Structure 1
Amino acid sequence: MELRTALVVGTGLIGTSAALALRKRGVRVLLADRDQAAVRLARELGAGEDWDPDAQLADEVDLAIIAVPPAHVASELLELQRINAARFYTDVASVKAEPLHRATQLGCDLTSYVASHPLAGREKSGPGAARADLFLGRPWALCPTEEADPEAKATVLRLIELCGANAVEVSASEHDRAVAVVSHAPHVAASAVAARLADATDVALGLAGQGVRDVTRIAGSDPSLWLGILSGNASPVAEVLEAVAADLADAASALRALAEGDGTATNDITQLLKRGVVGHDRIPGKHGGPAPSYAVVQVVIGDRPGQLARLFQVCDEVGVNVEDVRLEHAPGLPLGIAELSVQPDAVSMLAEGLRERGWEVP
């Protein structure tokens, strides 16, 4: 299915990233947003050109991509269909059942519309945070209804392909239950942990390590954006949070008992920690399927320009592929630790190669 021209309505992080990805593949992209400053920035980033609804003919636009908050998807779809803005329509909101229900209530044409959701994002928002490679290798949920025209579905599949993502067909309700577990509830949980830091002492914050940064990273996202997401998926998220809260309450009770001398309380805590390991190990690896076990090579790295480039150059020279990398800074010092995840049989080769070239490998 050819996708020659696309209209992106909503030039935030997801909309602009999709526009950049499509432009990179030679698709003409038209941009629209109620925030004209966002449109200008997206245009300056090379995401596309301004959309003129009065001059544009519907048969010139193959697909309209609605990149607005979940609560506004249905009304935006209705307005676009009213002016015959495109042949087919999709949205990229992170909630599917409620917008689809609302679209049905409003009388939207469901034959030309296929709901979708790319499972990709950043803790930053707005067009300035957009990236053409944001969706590469990421799952992209596709939620067609029975009424959907096969050509509409094929067009959205082409969009997903051009953005480098992997299509996953799922019903709207199943999608919302799934993202409650893997995205929405974890965000609330991260925010709850981060909220404890608001009143933490300077001593506590001075002792903060990589663990708390990992747990709270996503808590830095826009609260108003997340309120809209959570409101649209309230019941599934509440169910997950209630289960998490029950586990936390049990852990707190066990720790209280342990503090009072009840040694048997460690069993309850141990079981929760073990269940956490099982759940963590079920998260798919970067190529899908079970996550492989990598070994970590730690390297002391200076906080100066070009250090990472030099480090990766050594990896290239010794023929070791870096599967993942994480940086941990040393508070108050102009250096840190780079943790390079590699295949276990490459550890000795990489460590030796680094030491020979003057790198400090603990």
Structure 2
Amino acid sequence: MFQKITIVGPGLLGTSLGMAIHARDSAMRISVWARREESRNACLQASWCHEASDNLEEALSGSDLAVLCTPVVHLSEILGKIGSILPANCLLTDVGSTKAEICMTAEQAAIKNFVGSHPIAGSEKSGMDYADSALFEGRPCFVTPSENTSVENADKITAFWKWLGMRIIQVAPKEHDRILAQVSHLPHLLASALCNFLSKQSRACREGAGQGLRDATRIAAGSPKIWSDIAQHNSKEILEALDLFSEEISQLKHIIANQDFADLEKWLEEGKAFRDSIA
């Protein structure tokens, strides 16, 4: 596999990644780059981390794989710096929630060894305290090679995520962003919209909330900063998803306004069938 892996940004995903790698191969050397001394010290106290630095070049030294795990808003900045200090034979990937802009930035920075990826393994919680070595097992992972990505490099990144127990979906960066706007970004924003709507209603709405509402709005508990950044970087695709979703809401309003409850049952059955297919 790899001899040394550098994790850039030990948050929830970065720390979980280090733990997962160590659980599978304790001999594989793992380096961490983190700005905050507190984060570096926490990593060094863990069994999975061998070295930690606030100097990116130092953290990358001798690595044959680097994984960018910082929030998406910082990825373009790091890609702009990393090209000149990345070891010649070091593969570079990321875990960002959007891909088109990131992959384009990597190409503009002439980083030939970059392969975009996005493990669908997050949580409404954030930070290294919630890290889990089993976070990636059985989850989907998008690998998003650009037109200039070598097949060999894409295959190596694919093999890496498979090694961690993930199911691979390979698509172009723009297609990834369209899909994620529909299956991830839109649902999160809708959960927040429902919470915002209910917060403006009577207090009885809050007091009468049951498990169904908690289930439907769980993801609204995610970091507002992180999700605002994601929306900023994928606004075009999110707006298109909102337009499509508004058509579904219009259809629902039309069915109920016409008292066509046989049609409503059919509409609900279609929704249930999709939910059952992803359970």
Taking structure 2 as the reference length, what is the TM-score of the superposition? Answer: 0.88
Alpha-carbon spacing, 1:32–1:196, altered in 2? closer, same or farther (3 Å) = same
Partner of 1:134: 135
Partner of 2:208: 207
Number of equivalent positions:
274
Q: Distance in 1 between matches of 2:147 and 2:255?
A: 50
**Aligned-residue offset at 1:19:** 1.2
Alignment of 1:142-161 (within 5 A): 142-161=143-162
Partner of 1:5: 4
Alpha-carbon spacing, 1:236–1:54, altered in 2? closer, same or farther (3 Å) = closer
Is 1:245 matched with 2:240?
no
Describe the superposition over 1:142-178 as per-residue Cα deviations: whole angstroms up to 9, x where unpaired. Answer: 1122322344334323421332212222111111111
Q: Distance in 2 between matches of 1:206 and 1:10?
A: 39
Partner of 2:37: 36
Alignment of 1:278-293 (within 5 A): 278-283=273-278, 285=279
Alpha-carbon spacing, 1:141–1:55, altered in 2? closer, same or farther (3 Å) = closer
**Aligned-residue offset at 1:205:** 2.4
Task: Report the secondary structure of 2:10's partner residue.
Answer: coil
Partner of 1:62: 64
Partner of 1:22: 21
Question: What amino acid is the match of 1:102?
Answer: T
Task: Report the secondary structure of 2:2's partner residue.
Answer: coil
Is 1:103 matched with 2:106?
yes
Unaligned runs of 5+ residues in structure 2 are none
Q: Distance in 2 between matches of 1:56 and 1:193?
A: 43
CA contact (8 A) 1:74 1:100 kept: no
Describe the superposition over 1:228-278 as per-residue Cα deviations: whole angstroms up to 9, x where unpaired. Answer: 1112111222112222223224434554x4xxxx6x343554443233223
Is 1:266 matched with 2:265?
no
**Aligned-residue offset at 1:208:** 1.5
Partner of 2:173: 172
Higher relative contact order (CA 8 A, sep 6+): 2
Q: Distance in 1 between matches of 2:118 and 2:59?
A: 26
Question: What amino acid is the match of 1:84?
Answer: L
Q: Distance in 1 between matches of 2:65 and 2:250?
A: 48
Q: Distance in 1 between matches of 2:217 and 2:82?
A: 38
CA contact (8 A) 2:33 2:59 kept: no
Partner of 1:79: 81
Task: Report the secondary structure of 2:169's partner residue.
Answer: strand
Task: Report the secondary structure of 1:155's partner residue.
Answer: helix
Q: Distance in 1 between matches of 2:139 and 2:162?
A: 11
> Greater shift after overlay, 193-202 or 49-58?
49-58
Of structures 1 and 2, the larger Rg is shown by 1
CA contact (8 A) 1:75 1:103 kept: no
Alpha-carbon spacing, 1:163–1:175, altered in 2? closer, same or farther (3 Å) = same
CA contact (8 A) 1:16 1:47 kept: no
CA contact (8 A) 1:194 1:216 kept: yes
Q: Distance in 1 between matches of 2:124 and 2:59?
A: 35
Q: Distance in 2 between matches of 1:18 and 1:146?
A: 27
**Aligned-residue offset at 1:200:** 4.2
Task: Report the secondary structure of 2:248's partner residue.
Answer: helix
- Give the structure with the larger helix fraction: 2
After superposition, the CA RMSD in angstroms is 2.3
Task: Report the secondary structure of 2:146's partner residue.
Answer: coil
